[in-house]
Amino acid sequence: MRVEPHDTVEIDLLVNGTARRVAVESRSLLSDVLRHGLGLTGTHVSCEQGGCGACLILLDGEPVTSCTTLAITLDGSAVTTIEGLADDSRHDALRHAFRSRGALQCGFCTPGMFLACAALLDGERPRDRREIRERLTGQQCRCTGYAAVIDAVSDVLADGGTP
């Protein structure tokens, strides 16, 4: 089946644990569908090229920039946004570390940065600060200088707790 740029297609997504049927244009980006179609404005958009990480979400558990992902390709996928982690107690230690280390600052990069850190801690854990820094290279922050974020992740790792 050939799909034209303005064709609308319905796709099924599991968004933050809730099954959703969403009508999307074939050219719709996931960030637009989340923000404008579903009202999930915690997914921020900045560079619109996937370079800053503000729009980061988890797609089937893996970090993905939503501003470069065509929604039409995601039929049957699971999407987790920052709103999906709001009541997830598994990440309480990381939330506490972000607050206590001042890793929030202006808050624009925070949703993407938090999701990146949660994914980093949920997967194969980094061995040291250098590895944390390397694995967060896709996230840009103009306020914290990254030290507070790296400190927060290091605190969680040092406590041996869950993210």
The rounded Cα 43 to chain-centroid distance in angstroms is 7
Tens of pLDDT, residues 91-133: 999 999 999 998 888 888 889 999 999 999 988 889 899 999 9
pLDDT given for residue 64 in this prediction: 95
Mean pLDDT by 10 residues, the chain (163 residues): 76 97 94 96 83 90 95 97 90 93 85 92 89 88 82 90 54
Domain ranges of the chain: 8-85, 89-159
pLDDT of residue 141: 79
Q: Calculate the CA 93 to chain-centre distance.
A: 18
CATH class of 89-159: mainly alpha
Just give the CATH number of 8-85.
3.10.20.30
Question: What is the predicted pLDDT for the residue at 5?
Answer: 65
What pLDDT is stored for residue 84 in this prediction? 95
pTM: 0.88
